[in-house]
Structure 1
C-alpha cells in the first residue's frame, strides 16, 4: 500500500475521529512521507559503483583532495612533485602537471574552504628537509610558491611535513575556518636510533596559510604519519601510525586521540581494537587514509589500510557510523600490493557527487616500485548494497 503526505493527514483525521490515537503510526508517516528529503540522499541511491585505474606510472606518496568546483586533485611523487586533475568525477584525467623538480611529497594538501585555494607542501628531499608551500587559486591548474612561516612546538621543534594524509578546513565550533594538517617531529633523523623520540603533531593557520603554529605533541612517542578529521561537534579526531612502542600499548594497531581546542592540544589517547596499522607480522605501521563523509547530522568516517601478515597487500577500507568509536563495515579494495593511501569524497552538484576516491600505492612496472592507483566507489558498494542508514542509532 502506498501512502502520501495527503494520506497521512486523512489518516490523522480518521484516527482522531475514531478516538484512537496511534502515536507510532503518526510518527512513521511523518518521518517517511512529510519530511523534506535530506540533503545527503545522494549517498544512498542503491546502485553500487567501483572502478580502479592507474594514474601515475612510478614514484610514490599519494595525497588526493576535492577542489571547490568538484575537481579531483591527486598529488604524487618522491623525485618530482606532480599533480593530475579530473573534472568529470574520475572518468578521465588531465595530463601530469609537474610543480617542482626535484620535489618530494610532503602530504597534508589542504583545500581552503574559505577561499577555494589549494595548498601543497613540497620538501626538497627525504626528511629531515626544508619545505616550500605552493598555492593554487584555480582548483589545481596552476601553482606558485608562497612565503610562509612556521613556529615550532613547545619543545622548540619545527615539524616535518612528511608524509601525512591531507589536511582540512575546520567547519564547526569556535575555530571554524582554521586550516590544519598532521605533521611529525623526527628529533634528529629517521634512523631507528631516533625513533623513540619521534612524535606526530599538527600545524594550523588562522590567516589562510600565511603563518603556521605547531600543536602540542601527540601523546605517544614512536609515532609518525597521521590522519585527522573534524567531527560534527567540532572535536578533531586524530589517528596515527606508530612504528615503535615506547610503552605497553600495541604498535600494530592505530593510536587515537582527540582535540577540543581546534587542534592545539591532544587528549584521551587510546589504541583502536579494530583498525590495524600495517603488516601485522612486525611493528612498523603504514600511512593511512581517512575522511569524514559530508552526511548531515552524522559522523561517517572511512579509513584505509591493509589486512595482512605478509607484506603490504590486501588494501581494505573500513567504515564507522559513530565518529570512529566502532567500525562495523570493512571491504577489500585491492588484493595485491597496497601501501600508502589517501582518500577524498565528491561534492554535491558536481560529477564527483556521491563518490569516494581512494588513491594508493599499488603494483608498478618495477616489481620493487609502485604506481599510483585510484579506486572510485560509493557507499552502496562498500556496504554490499545494504542500507547504511540502519547503522545509525536513530534509524
Structure 2
C-alpha cells in the first residue's frame, strides 16, 4: 500500500554536476510524505575513481512511472550523460529492500537512448522501451534476470517514435496479457498521441487507437480500478512547446474496438 515517488532535483541534464536522484514514500495515498532520501551516493559519481558504479557528468530519472517486478523489486531507468559523449546511456536502477539499498544494472540497456520505461511480461521477461534519439522506430532491450543485465537494443516494427517519451504497461484482457504503448501517432513529429496494443509480447502491434488529434507529446498510463485506461497527455492547441496536461479515461472496450471503415 505504499507509494514511492522517485524524482530528480537540483541540476538538470545539461549542467556540469549531476542533480540529485531521490525518493520519498507515502503511506496514506499521497496525503503526506516521508523524508526525502538522496540515492546518488549509492549509484553515481563524477569521480572516475569513485566506488559508485556509474561515472557520469549528469543523470535523470525518466519522466513517468517506475515499475515493481513480480519478485517485489522496484526498478526505474536512469538516463546518463558523460562529458564529451554525445550519446546517452540508460541504466536500470533497482532496490530489493524498499529503498534501503539501491543497485545498478551491470550494463546499460542502451548506449544511445533517452527517456525509457520498464515493463515485465507474464513469463518474467523484462522489457525496457527506449526513446530513440535518432527517430524512426522505438527500441526495446530485454532482460531475463530481473533487470541486472540487458540485451542489445533492437528497433520495434510497428512502433514509430518521433524522438519522444511515452509509456508502456501490461493489461490482462480476456485471459491474455496485452502490452500497451503510448506514443505520438505521427511518425514525423509530436502529434496525435495514440495507444498501440500488442497481444504477443511486443512482437507485433496491430491495434492503434488515437487519444488526441492535436500537437501532443509525453504521456503516462495506468489501469484504473474499473478496468479503464487512464492516460495523461501533454497537449497543445497553439504550438509544440506550450503544453497543458490532460487526463483521459478510455474504456478497454473502446481501445480494442475494430477501427471504423471510412
Instruction: Please give the TM-score of this superposition, normalised by the length of structure 1.
Output: 0.57
Tell me which residue corresponds to 1:163: 62
Q: 1:273 aligns with which of 157, 162, 168?
A: 157
CA distance in 1, matches of 2:89, 2:219: 20
Tell me which residue corresponds to 2:126: 236
Partners of 2:165 and 2:219 within 8 A in 1: yes
Structure 1 residue 161, shift from structure 2 partner: 2.9
Structure of greater relative contact order (alpha carbons < 8 Å, 6+ residues apart): 1
Any unmatched runs of 5+ in structure 2? 45-51
Structure 1 residue 185, shift from structure 2 partner: 0.9
Tell me which residue corresponds to 2:49: none
Structure with greater proportional helix content:
1
Structure with greater proportional strand content:
2
Change (3 A) 1:296 1:216: farther
Structure 1 residue 154, shift from structure 2 partner: 4.5
Tell me which residue corresponds to 1:373: 246
Tell me which residue corresponds to 1:300: 178
Structure 1 residue 204, shift from structure 2 partner: 0.3
Which has the larger Rg? 1
Tell me which residue corresponds to 1:179: 74
Deviations 1:109-134, CA, capped at 9 Å, x for gaps: xxxxxx43333324124224223322
Any unmatched runs of 5+ in structure 1? 1-114, 245-250, 279-284, 347-351, 387-395
Partners of 1:118 and 1:140 within 8 A in 2: no
SS in 1 for 2:85: helix
Structure 1 residue 221, shift from structure 2 partner: 2.3
Change (3 A) 1:157 1:234: farther
Change (3 A) 1:364 1:129: farther
CA distance in 2, matches of 1:374, 1:131: 27
Structure 1 residue 307, shift from structure 2 partner: 2.5
CA distance in 1, matches of 2:109, 2:98: 27
Deviations 1:205-255, CA, capped at 9 Å, x for gaps: 0110122111134353221100110111111011101214xxxxxx42111
Deviations 1:27-46, CA, capped at 9 Å, x for gaps: xxxxxxxxxxxxxxxxxxxx
Structure 1 residue 184, shift from structure 2 partner: 1.1
Change (3 A) 1:314 1:209: same
SS in 1 for 2:181: strand
Q: Give yes or no for the alignment of 1:117 onto 2:3.
A: yes
Instruction: Please give the TM-score of this superposition, normalised by the length of structure 2.
Output: 0.84
SS in 1 for 2:209: strand
> Number of paired residues?
246
Partners of 1:239 and 1:254 within 8 A in 2: yes
Change (3 A) 1:183 1:372: same
Tell me which residue corresponds to 2:229: 356
Q: 1:129 aligns with which of 19, 22, 30?
A: 19
Change (3 A) 1:135 1:364: farther
Tell me which residue corresponds to 2:95: 205
CA distance in 1, matches of 2:157, 2:183: 14
Change (3 A) 1:125 1:357: farther
What root-mean-square deviation, in Å, do the aligned CA atoms of Structure 1 and Structure 2 show?
A: 2.5
